[in-house]
Amino acid sequence: MARQWRCKECDTLLGIENGARLYLRYKQAQYVVDGGDYNIIAVCRNCFTVNERNSTNESPPPLAVNA
């Protein structure tokens, strides 16, 4: 179940989300983000808008202290 992650301003494709993984590609380089919680900030290559995303797709959790 892949979902596309697009720029919120200009709809440029930033990456593909497939389950727990997020695939990002830029020219010849490809990045795969994996392994639970992540928080990604991507600057759109087209309009330079800052797009932010995290693995839960909800508001970021508070900075919890692991007690």
Among the candidate windows 7-15, 17-25, 30-38, 57-65, which touches Zn ion by CB under 5 A?
Answer: 7-15
Closest by Cα among 18, 13, 51 to 33: 18
16, 23 in Cβ contact below 8 A? yes
Q: What is the nearest approach in angstroms of Zn ion to the Cβ of residue 10?
A: 3
Told to check if 47 binds Zn ion by CB under 5 A, we report yes
Among the candidate windows 5-13, 20-28, 34-42, 53-61, which touches Zn ion by CB under 5 A?
Answer: 5-13
Tokens of 44: 């759109």
Please report, as ranges, the residues that interact with Zn ion according to CB under 5 A.
7, 9-10, 12, 44, 46-47, 49
